[in-house]
Chain A
Amino acid sequence: MKRRKFDLAATPGKAAVGVDDRFAVATPLRKLLNKVFPDHWSFLLGEIALFSFVVLLLTGVFLTFFFEPAMTEVVYDGSYAPLQGTPMSAAYASSLDISFDVRGGLVMRQMHHWAALLFMAAIVVHMLRVFFTGAFRKPRETNWIIGSLLFWVGFLAGFTGYSLPDDGLSGTGLRIASAIMLSIPVIGSWVTSSVFGGEFPGTIIISRFFIAHVLLIPGLLVALISVHLGLVFKQKHTQWPGPGRTNNNVVGERMFPRYALKQGGFFMVVFGVIALMGGLFQINPIWLFGPYEAWVVSAASQPDWYVMFLDGSTRLMPAWEIPIPIGDGYVIPPLFWPTVVLPGILVGLSTMYPFLEARQLKDRKSHNLLERPRDAPARTAVGAMAVAFYVVLTLSGANDVIADKFQISLNAMTWAGRIGLLVVPPLAYYVTYRLCLGLQQHDREVLAHGVETGIIRRMPDGRFVEVHQPLSASNGHADGYGQLDYVGWVVPKKMNRLGALGPAIRGFFYPIEKPVEAPVSPGHPPVEARPEREEITSGESRR
C-alpha cells in the first residue's frame, strides 16, 4: 500500500480553498479582514462597552437558569438564616437562592451587575471621546444617534434588570417608576395601570419586566450594536491628524491578524476586570434589603449610577404644583418636570447635537479627521457644560449619603444642588473655553518660537532670556526662525520630544528595547528615522 504523504502545514490553506470554492467568501472576507483600525488608545473605549455586553449576555443566560420571574408568595427556607420563615415573592426567593444556594451563583450575579455598570460607564466614556474629538460630524451623525439611543436603551435594560430581584430596593425603584408614570398629565393613570396590570404593585410586573429584560431589550441592543458596528465598517474609522494621515485615508493596523489578536486579549482583560470586581466587591446585597413591602423604604435608597441623575433632578425640584381647573380639576405634579420632561429634552438634545452644530457652523463637509478638543473651544465648552450638569444631578441623587458621611446638612446639599445646577454649567463653559484658547495659544507660540530648552542666558546688558530651540530652519521671518503651520496634532513642548535627549523609550510597563545607554547631549548616537508607514487601502475609494 502506498503511503499518502500528509502535509500538515498545507492543511489550513487547503481547507480555506475548499471553503472558498463552495461559498466564495474570499473577496468579501478580505475586505473585512483588511479593515484598518487606527492605533490610538481612545478608540478602544467603545470596545469596553461591547465586551461588557458580551459578559452581560453570558452571565445573564446563567442567571435565567435559576431565576423564577413570578410574584407568587412563598415562605423562604433557604440557607440564609436571617430571612428563614419570611414570606416573600418567588422572584426574591429565587434571587436569594442564586446568591446562597446555587454554586457560583453569587459571583455570577455580582459579575452581571458590575458588567451592567461597566457597560453604561463605558458607553458614557466612549461617547465623551466621540463628542470631544468631533467624531460625530458628517458623515457619522447616524452612528452618533444610534450610540445615544444605546445609552437610553441600556438605561432601560439596567432599570428592568435591577427591578427583577423584588427586594426592598428594587421595589422602591418600581414605586418611583409608577409615580413617574402617574405624573404624566391626562394619560398617567392609564399608563400605570396598563404597565402594572392594575394598581401598584400588582402581581404581573416582575414577569413583564423579565421578558422585557431578557428578550425585548437585549434584542434591541443587539440590533442597535450590530448597526453601530456595521456603520463603523462601512464609514471607516476616524483618525487623528498627523504625518501621512489625511481626510481620505485611514492609517493603522489591519484587522487580521494583529488587531484581532489584540482585541481578543482586550476582551480577556475586560472579562478579567469584571470577574475580579464580581468576586471582590459586593454589589447590591439584596439579602439586607429584605423582600419588598410597600411600607419598607430604607435610607440611602438610590438607583444605579446611570439613573441617579433622575433621582437628583427629582430631589432638586421645588414642590411646584400646577393646578388646572378643567372639569373636576387636574394637577400637574412637580415630579412630571424632572422625570418626564427633562429626560425627554436630554434625549432630544443628545441625539440632535450633530445637526445643531453643523447648522450653527454652516458646515456641510465630510470630516474623517478628528479635532483636538482645544481646537473646537465652543464644542469642548458645551461638552464640559453638559458634563457639569450631569455631575451636579448625579451628586444630588446621592445627596443624603454625601450629607450623612461628610456631616453636611441635607437641606444645604439640596440648595447647593439647586444653585449649582444653574451656576456650575455656565462656569464650566467659561473656564473650559478659556483653557482651550490658552492651550491653542501655547501651541502657536511653540510653533513660532521653538521649544523652551531650560537654558537661561544672561545677556551683556544684564537681562536673562531663556534659549528656545526653533523647530525649523530660518526662512527670513521676523525673529529669525521659520514659523511652522499647525496641523491639528500634538506640538512638541519638551526637548526630549524632539529627540534632543535621546530616543523616547517605547513600551508601557518596561522598555521594549533598552537604550544602549543614556546618551549625553550633544554627542549622542543619531536616532534612526522611523520606517515610513505604508498606506493600507481596502480597495474602496472614499470621498
Chain B
Amino acid sequence: MTSDNDRRRGLLARLRERPAARSRGRRRLGAAVRLIAALMLAGGAYTVFAPGAQAQDNPQLTGAAAEGKALFDVSCVTCHGRNAQGVEGRGPSLIGVGAASVEFQVSSGRMPLARQEAQAHRKPPLFTDEQTRQLAQYIQELGGGPVVPDGDDLHEDGNIASGGELFRINCSQCHAFGGGGGALSSGKFAPSLRPATDRQIYAAMLSGPQNMPVFGDNQLRPEQKADIIAYIQETLKHDQDPGGFNLGRYGPSTEGLAIFLVGIVALVFASLWIAGKS
C-alpha cells in the first residue's frame, strides 16, 4: 500500500518537474492531431471488427431467410421475441447461436417447446427439412454463428478407434458407455444418442444445446468430430451385441434385476418341481 503511494507520488512529481518549453499554440496543435489520430484508429478498428450485418438497421434478408423469418414470426416469436432477441424469463436470444443450433433443436423436434420444464424432450419434428433450413438461414443471417458442414453423411472417413477413445473421454460421462443417455441434476438429462442423425450429433457438438458443453472446432477438430460420429453410428448403433440380449445397456443395475427375475425365479420353480416329486 505505502510503496504504491510512493510510486504514484514519484510519477506525479516527475510530471510536474517537466519543463514547459513549447509554446501554448504548438501544444494545442499537437493535442488536436493526437485526438484526430486516436479517433481514426478507434473508428478504423471498429469498422474492421464490427460485423457488417449488425451495422444496418434493416438487414437485407435473402429469400430463404425471409421465408424463415415468416416461420419464426409465427412459431418462435412468443418465447424468443422480435428479431430473435429473446424474452426475459421465457426464451433466450438467438443472436449468434448459428444455424447449427437451429438445425439441432428444430430437426430433433425439441423446438418448438411443448412446455417450460427442466429440459426439452425429443419429439417428432414440427417443421419439414426445407422449413428447418429456412429458419436456420434466418438465424444465421441475423447474427452468424456455427454452421454444420454440408451433406448427410458426416462420418465417411471417420476412424472408429480414435472416435471410441474420444467418445469415452468426452461423451460417456453423460451419455453413458453405450450412448443410452444418463441423468443430470434436477430433472435434466443427457438424451439417448440412438435416434440422432450425423448432422444432429455434429450440430450438438458445435452448439452445445441444453446442458451440453460446446465442443468447438478448437476443442474437437472437424476430423475428430467425424471420428466420434463414426463411433456412435457404426459401433454403438450397429454393434450386434456379441454376448446376446444387451439388457438395455444400463450396466449392472439391469443385470442385477435379471439375475433375480430370470435366474432366481427359474430356479425356485425348479426347486418347487424337484421337491414336489417325492
A contact set with B: CB distance below 8 Å: 39-45, 47-48, 81-86, 99-100, 106, 110, 114, 117-118, 121-122, 125, 168-169, 253, 262, 265-266, 269-270, 273-274, 277, 279-285, 288-290, 293, 295-306, 308, 394, 397-398, 400-405, 407-413, 506-509
User: Measured between C-beta atoms, what is the minimum distance from B222 to chain A in Å?
Assistant: 21
Does B124 sit within 8 A of A, measured CB to CB? no
User: Measured between C-beta atoms, what is the minimum distance from A506 to chain B in Å?
Assistant: 8
- B262 contact from A277, A401, A408, Cβ within 8 A: A277
Contact residues in B for A83 (Cβ distance below 8 Å): 161, 164
- B266 contact from A100, A273, A394, A409, Cβ within 8 A: A273
> What are the 4 A-B residue pairs with the smallest beta carbon separation, nearest first?
A305-B256, A299-B182, A282-B243, A41-B275
Contact residues in B for A48 (Cβ distance below 8 Å): 264, 267, 271
Q: List 5 A-B contacts (CB under 8 A).
A: A45-B268, A277-B263, A304-B255, A404-B183, A407-B189
Q: Contact string, B241-278, partner A, CB cutoff 8 A, digits 1/0?
A: 11111110111111111111011101110111111111
Considering the complex, give the chain B residue whose CB is closest to the CB of A411: B186
Residue from the set A110, A118, A404, A408 with the largest chain B CB neighbour count within 10 Å: A404
Complex CA gap A404/B264 in Å reads 27
Contact residues in A for B168 (Cβ distance below 8 Å): 168, 289-290, 293, 296, 298
Q: Which of B20-28, B142-150, B170-178 contacts A (4 or more CB under 8 A)?
A: B170-178
The reply to whether B243 and A283 contact each other, CB–CB distance below 8 Å, is: yes
Complex CA gap A281/B168 in Å reads 24
Complex CA gap A509/B274 in Å reads 11
Complex CA gap A296/B174 in Å reads 11
Residue from the set A288, A305, A397 with the largest chain B CB neighbour count within 10 Å: A288
Complex CA gap A23/B95 in Å reads 94
Q: Besides the contacts A82-B235, A300-B251, what 10 more A-B pairs have beta carbons closer than 8 Å? A: A44-B274, A82-B164, A253-B278, A281-B244, A289-B177, A299-B172, A305-B259, A398-B256, A401-B182, A401-B254
User: Measured between C-beta atoms, what is the minimum distance from A303 to chain B in Å?
Assistant: 6
Total of A-B residue pairs, C-beta within 8 Å? 220
The reply to whether A100 and B175 contact each other, CB–CB distance below 8 Å, is: no
Considering the complex, give the chain A residue whose CB is closest to the CB of B276: A508
Complex CA gap A40/B169 in Å reads 54
Considering the complex, give the chain B residue whose CB is closest to the CB of A296: B168
Contact residues in A for B180 (Cβ distance below 8 Å): 300
- B256 contact from A42, A298, A308, Cβ within 8 A: A308
Does B181 sit within 8 A of A, measured CB to CB? yes
The reply to whether A82 and B181 contact each other, CB–CB distance below 8 Å, is: no
Does B184 sit within 8 A of A, measured CB to CB? yes
Complex CA gap A60/B47 in Å reads 73
Contact residues in B for A304 (Cβ distance below 8 Å): 252, 255-256
Considering the complex, give the chain A residue whose CB is closest to the CB of B160: A82
The reply to whether B274 and A262 contact each other, CB–CB distance below 8 Å, is: yes
The reply to whether B178 and A288 contact each other, CB–CB distance below 8 Å, is: yes
The reply to whether A81 and B161 contact each other, CB–CB distance below 8 Å, is: yes
Q: A298-B172, A303-B252 are in contact. Are A85 and B182 (CB under 8 A)?
A: no
Contact residues in B for A282 (Cβ distance below 8 Å): 241-247
Does B5 sit within 8 A of A, measured CB to CB? no
Considering the complex, give the chain B residue whose CB is closest to the CB of A173: B252
Considering the complex, give the chain A residue whose CB is closest to the CB of B253: A398
Contact residues in A for B276 (Cβ distance below 8 Å): 41, 506-508
Q: A280-B244, A301-B251 are in contact. Are A114 and B274 (CB under 8 A)?
A: no
Complex CA gap A302/B180 in Å reads 15
Q: Contact string, B3-20, partner A, CB cutoff 8 A, digits 1/0?
A: 000000000000000000
Contact residues in A for B56 (Cβ distance below 8 Å): none
Contact residues in A for B247 (Cβ distance below 8 Å): 281-283
- A110 contact from B176, B189, B243, B254, Cβ within 8 A: B243
User: Measured between C-beta atoms, what is the minimum distance from B211 to chain A in Å?
Assistant: 12
B contact set with A: CB distance below 8 Å: 118, 160-161, 163-165, 168-169, 172-178, 180-187, 189-190, 231, 234-236, 239, 241-247, 249-260, 262-264, 266-268, 270-278
Contact residues in A for B173 (Cβ distance below 8 Å): 297-299
- A265 contact from B165, B262, B274, Cβ within 8 A: B274
User: Measured between C-beta atoms, what is the minimum distance from A389 to chain B in Å?
Assistant: 17
Complex CA gap A48/B278 in Å reads 19
- A277 contact from B176, B249, B257, B258, Cβ within 8 A: B258
User: Measured between C-beta atoms, what is the minimum distance from B98 to chain A in Å?
Assistant: 28
The reply to whether A269 and B267 contact each other, CB–CB distance below 8 Å, is: yes
Q: A262-B277, A298-B168, A411-B185 are in contact. Are A285 and B249 (CB under 8 A)?
A: yes
Contact residues in A for B257 (Cβ distance below 8 Å): 305
User: Measured between C-beta atoms, what is the minimum distance from A129 to chain B in Å?
Assistant: 11
Q: A118-B263, A281-B244, A305-B259 are in contact. Are A39 and B183 (CB under 8 A)?
A: no
Contact residues in A for B160 (Cβ distance below 8 Å): 81-82
Considering the complex, give the chain B residue whose CB is closest to the CB of A280: B244
User: Measured between C-beta atoms, what is the minimum distance from B242 to chain A in Å?
Assistant: 6
Contact residues in A for B175 (Cβ distance below 8 Å): 299
Complex CA gap A266/B246 in Å reads 28
Complex CA gap A400/B231 in Å reads 25
Contact residues in A for B267 (Cβ distance below 8 Å): 48, 118, 122, 269-270, 273
- A121 contact from B165, B182, B260, Cβ within 8 A: B260
Considering the complex, give the chain B residue whose CB is closest to the CB of A414: B185
Contact residues in A for B252 (Cβ distance below 8 Å): 284, 302-305, 308
Contact residues in B for A397 (Cβ distance below 8 Å): 253
User: Measured between C-beta atoms, what is the minimum distance from B93 to chain A in Å?
Assistant: 27
Residue from the set B160, B161, B239, B246 with the largest chain A CB neighbour count within 10 Å: B161
Considering the complex, give the chain B residue whose CB is closest to the CB of A409: B187
Contact residues in A for B268 (Cβ distance below 8 Å): 41, 45, 125
The reply to whether B244 and A266 contact each other, CB–CB distance below 8 Å, is: no
Contact residues in B for A295 (Cβ distance below 8 Å): 169
- B241 contact from A114, A285, A400, Cβ within 8 A: A285
Residue from the set B163, B184, B267 with the largest chain A CB neighbour count within 10 Å: B267
User: Measured between C-beta atoms, what is the minimum distance from B119 to chain A in Å?
Assistant: 10
The reply to whether B244 and A410 contact each other, CB–CB distance below 8 Å, is: no
Contact residues in B for A394 (Cβ distance below 8 Å): 256
The reply to whether B186 and A410 contact each other, CB–CB distance below 8 Å, is: yes
Complex CA gap A281/B164 in Å reads 24
The reply to whether B250 and A405 contact each other, CB–CB distance below 8 Å, is: yes
User: Measured between C-beta atoms, what is the minimum distance from A22 to chain B in Å?
Assistant: 36
User: Measured between C-beta atoms, what is the minimum distance from A342 to chain B in Å?
Assistant: 19
The reply to whether B255 and A305 contact each other, CB–CB distance below 8 Å, is: yes
The reply to whether A39 and B275 contact each other, CB–CB distance below 8 Å, is: yes
The reply to whether B161 and A82 contact each other, CB–CB distance below 8 Å, is: yes
The reply to whether B169 and A296 contact each other, CB–CB distance below 8 Å, is: yes
Q: A41-B275, A285-B241, A404-B183 are in contact. Are A302 and B253 (CB under 8 A)?
A: yes
Q: A81-B161, A169-B251 are in contact. Are A404 and B259 (CB under 8 A)?
A: no
Contact residues in B for A405 (Cβ distance below 8 Å): 250
The reply to whether B263 and A273 contact each other, CB–CB distance below 8 Å, is: yes
Considering the complex, give the chain B residue whose CB is closest to the CB of A304: B252
Contact residues in B for A507 (Cβ distance below 8 Å): 276
The reply to whether A400 and B246 contact each other, CB–CB distance below 8 Å, is: no
Complex CA gap A280/B266 in Å reads 15
Complex CA gap A277/B177 in Å reads 22
- B271 contact from A41, A400, A401, A509, Cβ within 8 A: A41
Considering the complex, give the chain A residue whose CB is closest to the CB of B159: A85
Complex CA gap A304/B257 in Å reads 10
Considering the complex, give the chain A residue whose CB is closest to the CB of B118: A409
Complex CA gap A373/B131 in Å reads 68
Complex CA gap A22/B52 in Å reads 107
